[in-house]
Amino acid sequence: AQSVSQHNHHVILSEAASLELGCNYSYGGTVNLFWYVQYPGQHLQLLLKYFSGDPLVKGIKGFEAEFIKSKFSFNLRKPSVQWSDTAEYFCAVFEGSQGNLIFGKGTKLSVKP
Amino acid sequence: GAVVSQHPSRVICKSGTSVKIECRSLDFQATTMFWYRQFPKQSLMLMATSNEGSKATYEQGVEKDKFLINHASLTLSTLTVTSAHPEDSSFYICSAPGLGVSGNTIYFGEGSWLTVV
């Protein structure tokens, strides 16, 4: 079975700092990868996804992620975070043909103003 | 764009009662919907796959008689927590695969906070 690991439980940054959140998955075949964000009190929103093609994926709100097959990784990055980026971030991988997602445990990001 | 709506967003019920949570795809048809549960400080875990016109498929360890799922139409799936107990208090969220601007994607409802007292 596939699994997803997010190594950082809680990341605290100051505004304008650069962000990189780690995500590793276990499956060695073709993968579809996602990053979701959950702002306090709100529902999950899709930040970006990778299905195929360019391994550097750009998402909303200035986020990007790079798929590195050899490292089984799909790290999320943002050059300069803002206070409004404070949220919990989940990495997820597709399992099966019908769209079931397996989520990592999430990384809470706190950005200090 | 495609939207999945979930209702209610918050519900408090007494122990032993049942509560129903609805998940609707608003502008697309979803033959399959997924129900997840998120306990505090933990990640989302798949509970079951809801299939329109047929029985739901439950993940290991999820009691199908306790968490009743009905996918009566192409736009509606319901999760009923029967004989609720305080340990059922959790965040329940549904999702449905759809066709986004750049291909297949997954859409999530707003989630439902269940508190059993």
Q: Is the Cβ of A46 closer than 8 Å to some Cβ of chain B?
A: yes
Q: Is the Cβ of B62 closer than 8 Å to some Cβ of chain A?
A: no
**B89: which DSSP letter?**
-
Q: Which residues of A touch B109 (CB under 8 A)?
A: 43
Q: Residue A49: closest CA among chain B residues belongs to which residue? A: B105
Copy the structure tokens of residue B32.
């399959």
Copy the structure tokens of residue A94.
């597709």
Q: Is the Cβ of A3 closer than 8 Å to some Cβ of chain B?
A: no
- The sign of the dihedral angle between the CA atoms of B38, B13, B76, B48 is positive
* Interface size between A and B, measured as CB pairs under 8 A: 46
| B48-107 pLDDT per residue, tens | 999 888 899 999 899 999 999 999 899 999 999 999 999 999 989 999 887 655 556 778
Over residues A6-14, the mean pLDDT reads 93
pLDDT band at A71 (very low <50, low <70, confident <90, very high): very high
Q: From B19, B2, B1, B7, select the one nearest B96 (Cα to Cα).
A: B2
| A84-104 pLDDT per residue, tens | 999 999 999 876 555 567 889
pLDDT of residue A2 exceeding 80? no
pLDDT at residue number A22: 96
The torsion defined by the Cα of A27, B31, B92 and A111, in degrees rounded to 10, comes to 60
